[in-house]
């Protein structure tokens, strides 16, 4: 059908949209003829009857790929206007200009058919509402997408061919550069030594986070190459940088390509997913010099994987600063999972607990065990000290050498930073000296830059001296002598308070594989099954610490002693006896109550709390009489009974601090006489030699 016959009057009433696009900015700059041909389509629209004011040119997608419409704002505007019925015809030099994606192309055809919009290319005018035209446009769209696929496949095949030989040049991580021979280590010695110290530190501490802490504590910075630049800067080491460095196989001297699979989402964003090592497109070990070996790289990956398995059944975590000695090595004897370590502040100190609550957090089941850490750690420490005593000399010397080597390496890196600051200052000075003195604008700027470099140099020197002085304080002569003294006794090294908990755990890791704990609440003990590295096993038993209530509970032996003393003593006398024998009440176990002593009130509370028979009941069982009963027995007044007891005519026994019971006088009781002619003290003087003993004091316990 003739082009002019397809163009109707209602088409001319709407606009003619000319879509112009090049796939890259390089094509925009170099392929000028293609751009001119696209703009020349305006004359085709004019020839078909559209006026210049009806022609709309959309050329804002220059330099954008036609593989998707997500990032092409011009194409989105075109589709919107077509759907709104504003376009009578859509013009493009060829189908590939509009879209190289069948989904976008057929969506445009469907909307054009619904809106009665024509499509024009270099070959002719098409009506998407007609079957033959739509079939032809669909074939052109398919061929355009296939053309893009073929081009990509050719380029990709050439790249992969070089990749398999290890010759394709990728962006190198910090610490590597390209030269004529290929990949080599960075010629900057500070960069090389810092990266080497990073891997050495990780091998020592066994954790990426701990490596970052070491760099922070020692005031070291880590090199980082700016993106798409050759400039390398030094900045504080972060956890993400540490993990990225540890996972990069280039540092092990291996050529690797295709470690990630890139895809585009529905919104056009590029996402990536990591591939397994076996799925990499290329992995060639020992392809170039590296900072660590390939075996060391594999061990680092396994260690990072073990550190990240926080909720797995079996996990051996790296040593940390906590007091729990078996952190990452204690195994529950009930379920086989590794214990978690919990810390609680009690009685003014931090106590460690081994808790197996993984089943509780996963399926709301009761926790297996909760075991106090101090008794377990003490038993394991004694066992290790006993087993390791023959190797004490060698171990202590190795520790001293390691500390000294670590400080020397850190000092060397600080000196490198100072040298770099000196080079920058000298360069700024040369620039300032070469400038024309008459050009004050440039001279002032270069002078300010020189001053900044000098201040940075002074700060670097000051930091180096300060850190060096701090290291000397750590390794002064006193500490050296102490280390030498400890070489003869490993127990002193293990019990030394200045030895960090992390170092104890590191030493333990070389001796013990794991420790299985089984708590026996009925027996009040915990079974400790130790498995050594060589396969040997040993079983220990420890007493479980008492609860707070049991710690302040009075021992049974003291209760039994109080029960016996109640036969002959009152509460105050019993308190004196207990204090003289060195016994202390249960409350002395509380913080700040170490000096507590027994008192009459404490003894009374103890007797009532444990249901001991009172002294009053004990004396009544022995036939003692009350004051009223004694007065009736002797036929005298109550006050006379008290007076006779004070003078020893009758015998009384105290059952508390101010009350008494009286002994039955028997068949020959004392008789009442006239106190004017026979005074009480005279009668008492006659009775005392007859009894042959002196009565006890009447104001406190005992017989009177």
Catalytic residue flag (residue 23): yes
CA distance 414 to 151: 52
Identify whether the C-beta of residue 680 lies closer than 8 Å to the C-beta of residue 644.
yes
Q: What angle do CA 222, 224, 230 make, to 5 degrees?
A: 140
Give residue 297's pLDDT. Answer: 92
Beta bridge partners of 19: 58
Distances (CA, A) of 485 to 382, 405, 507: 20, 20, 19
Give residue 292's pLDDT. Answer: 92
DSSP alpha helix (H) spans, 318-439 = 358-363, 373-388, 392-434
The arithmetic mean of pLDDT across residues 268-277, rounded, is 78
Give residue 195's pLDDT. Answer: 92
Give residue 702's pLDDT. Answer: 42
Tell me the HSE value of 537 on the side-chain side, using a 13 A CA sphere. Answer: 8
Order the strands of the 349-356 sheet from edge to edge.
340-346, 349-356, 369-372
Give residue 592's pLDDT. Answer: 74
CA distance 210 to 319: 10
CA distance 614 to 282: 91
What whole-number percentage of the chain has pLDDT above 90?
A: 6
Neighbours of 477 (CB within 10 A): 7
User: Is residue 360 over pLDDT 80?
Assistant: no
Q: Name which residue leads in pLDDT, 309 or 18.
A: 18
Give residue 477's pLDDT. Answer: 53
Task: Label residue 674 by pLDDT band (50, 70, 90).
Answer: low
User: Is residue 311 over pLDDT 50?
Assistant: no
Strand 255-257 and strand 282-284: the pairing is: antiparallel
The arithmetic mean of pLDDT across residues 616-643, rounded, is 85
The arithmetic mean of pLDDT across residues 596-615, rounded, is 88
Give residue 494's pLDDT. Answer: 66
Q: What angle do CA 407, 412, 416 make, to 5 degrees?
A: 145
Give residue 456's pLDDT. Answer: 81
Strand 330-332 and strand 512-520: the pairing is: parallel
Give residue 388's pLDDT. Answer: 61
173: left (phi over 0), alpha (psi -120 to 50) or beta: beta
Backbone phi and psi for residue 117, each to the nearest 5 degrees, phi listed first: -110, 135
Catalytic residue among 4, 23, 498, 675: 23
Q: Of 491, 497, 515, whose CA–CA distance to 388 is shortest?
A: 491
The arithmetic mean of pLDDT across residues 219-244, rounded, is 88
Q: Name which residue leads in pLDDT, 148 or 164.
A: 164
Domains recognised in the chain with CATH numbers: 3-161 (3.40.50.1390), 176-308 (3.90.1750.20), 323-545 (no CATH), 556-691 (no CATH)
Task: Label residue 699 by pLDDT band (50, 70, 90).
Answer: very low
CA distance 340 to 141: 61
Beta bridge partners of 256: 283
Q: Of 691, 692, 614, 616, whose CA–CA distance to 649 is shortest?
A: 691
Give residue 247's pLDDT. Answer: 92
Q: Of 506, 161, 78, whose CA–CA distance to 321 is shortest?
A: 506
**Please, which contacts does 105-112 make with residues 24 or more away whose CB atoms are closer than 8 Å?**
105/137, 105/138, 105/141, 105/144, 105/145, 106/138, 106/141, 107/79, 108/78, 108/79, 108/82, 109/134, 109/137, 109/138, 109/141, 111/79, 111/82, 111/83, 112/82
Q: Name which residue leads in pLDDT, 267 or 112.
A: 112
User: Is residue 391 over pLDDT 60?
Assistant: no
Beta bridge partners of 518: 527
The three-class DSSP label of residue 287 is coil
Q: Name which residue leads in pLDDT, 205 or 96.
A: 205
Strand 369-372 and strand 349-356: the pairing is: antiparallel
Strand 525-532 and strand 537-543: the pairing is: antiparallel
- Tell me the pTM: 0.49
- The least confident of 390-399, 592-601, 617-626, 683-692 is 390-399
The arithmetic mean of pLDDT across residues 57-81, rounded, is 83
Give residue 336's pLDDT. Answer: 80
The arithmetic mean of pLDDT across residues 38-50, rounded, is 87
Task: Label residue 468 by pLDDT band (50, 70, 90).
Answer: low
30: left (phi over 0), alpha (psi -120 to 50) or beta: alpha
Backbone phi and psi for residue 395, each to the nearest 5 degrees, phi listed first: -65, -45
CA distance 380 to 325: 8
The three-class DSSP label of residue 18 is strand
User: Is residue 595 over pLDDT 90?
Assistant: no
Mean pLDDT (the chain) is 79
User: Is residue 282 over pLDDT 90?
Assistant: no
Q: Of 614, 592, 619, 590, whose CA–CA distance to 603 is shortest?
A: 614
The arithmetic mean of pLDDT across residues 138-153, rounded, is 81
């Amino acid at each position: 059908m003739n082009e002019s016959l397809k163009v109707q009057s209602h088409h001319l009433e709407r606009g003619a949209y000319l879509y112009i696009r090049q796939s890259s900015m390089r094509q925009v700059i170099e392929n000028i003829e293609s751009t001119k041909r696209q703009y020349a389509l305006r004359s085709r629209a004019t020839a078909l009857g559209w006026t210049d004011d009806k022609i709309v040119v959309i050329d804002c997608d220059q330099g954008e790929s036609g593989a998707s419409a997500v990032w092409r704002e011009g194409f989105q505007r075109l589709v919107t206007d077509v759907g709104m019925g504003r376009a009578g015809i859509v013009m493009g030099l060829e189908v590939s200009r509009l879209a190289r994606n069948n989904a976008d192309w057929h969506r445009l055809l469907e909307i054009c058919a619904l809106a009665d919009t024509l499509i024009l290319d270099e070959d002719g005018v098409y009506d998407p509402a007609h079957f033959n035209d739509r079939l032809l446009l669909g074939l052109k769209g398919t061929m355009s997408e296939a053309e893009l696929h073929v081009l990509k496949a050719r380029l990709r095949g050439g790249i992969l061919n070089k990749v398999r030989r290890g010759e394709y040049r990728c962006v190198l991580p910090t610490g590597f550069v390209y030269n004529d021979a290929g990949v080599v280590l960075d010629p900057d010695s500070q960069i090389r030594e810092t990266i080497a110290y990073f891997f050495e530190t990780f091998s020592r501490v066994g954790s990426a986070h701990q490596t970052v802490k070491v760099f922070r504590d020692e005031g070291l910075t880590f090199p980082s190459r700016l993106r798409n630049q050759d400039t390398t800067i030094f900045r504080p080491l972060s956890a993400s940088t540490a993990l990225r460095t540890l996972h990069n196989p280039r540092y092990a001297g291996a050529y690797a390509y295709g470690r990630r699979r890139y895809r585009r989402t529905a919104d056009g964003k590029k996402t990536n997913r990591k591939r397994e090592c076996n799925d990499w497109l290329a992995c060639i070990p020992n392809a170039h010099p590296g900072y660590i070996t390939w075996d060391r790289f594999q061990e680092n990956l396994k260690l990072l994987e073990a550190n990240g398995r926080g909720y797995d059944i079996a996990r051996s975590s790296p040593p940390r600063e906590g007091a729990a000695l078996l952190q990452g090595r204690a195994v529950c004897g009930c379920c086989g999972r590794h214990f978690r370590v919990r810390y609680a502040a009690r009685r003014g100190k931090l106590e460690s607990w081994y808790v197996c609550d993984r089943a509780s957090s996963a399926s709301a089941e009761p926790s297996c065990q909760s075991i106090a850490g101090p008794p377990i750690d003490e038993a394991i420490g004694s066992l290790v000290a006993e087993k390791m005593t023959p190797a004490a000399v060698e171990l202590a010397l190795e520790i001293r050498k390691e500390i000294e080597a670590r400080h020397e390496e850190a000092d060397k890196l600080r000196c490198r930073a100072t040298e770099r600051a000196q080079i920058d200052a000298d360069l700024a000075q040369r620039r300032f000296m070469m400038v024309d003195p008459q050009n004050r604008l440039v001279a002032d700027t270069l002078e300010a830059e020189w001053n900044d470099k000098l201040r940075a140099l002074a700060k670097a020197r000051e930091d180096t001296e300060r850190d060096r002085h701090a290291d000397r304080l750590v390794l002064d002569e006193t500490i050296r002598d102490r280390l030498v003294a400890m070489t003869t006794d490993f127990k002193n090294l293990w019990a030394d308070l200045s030895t960090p908990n992390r170092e104890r755990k590191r030493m333990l890791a070389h001796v013990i594989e794991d420790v299985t704990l089984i708590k026996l609440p009925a027996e009040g003990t915990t079974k400790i099954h130790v498995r050594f590295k060589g396969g040997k096993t040993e079983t220990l038993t420890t007493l479980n610490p008492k609860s707070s209530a049991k710690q302040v509970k009075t021992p049974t032996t003291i209760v039994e002693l109080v029960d016996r003393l109640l036969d002959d003593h009152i509460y105050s006398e019993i308190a004196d006896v207990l204090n003289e024998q060195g016994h202390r009440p249960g409350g002395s176990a509380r913080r700040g109550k170490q000096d507590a002593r027994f008192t009459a009130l404490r003894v009374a509370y103890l007797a009532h709390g444990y249901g001991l028979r009172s002294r009053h009941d004990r004396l009544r069982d022995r036939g003692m009489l009350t004051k009223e009963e004694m007065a009736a027995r002797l036929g005298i007044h109550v006050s006379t009974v008290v007076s006779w007891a004070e003078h020893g005519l009758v015998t009384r026994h105290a059952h508390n601090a101010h009350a008494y019971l009286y002994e039955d006088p028997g068949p020959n009781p004392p008789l009442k006489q006239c106190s004017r002619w026979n005074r009480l003290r005279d009668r008492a003087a006659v009775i005392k030699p007859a009894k042959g003993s002196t009565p006890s004091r009447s104001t406190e316990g005992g017989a009177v």
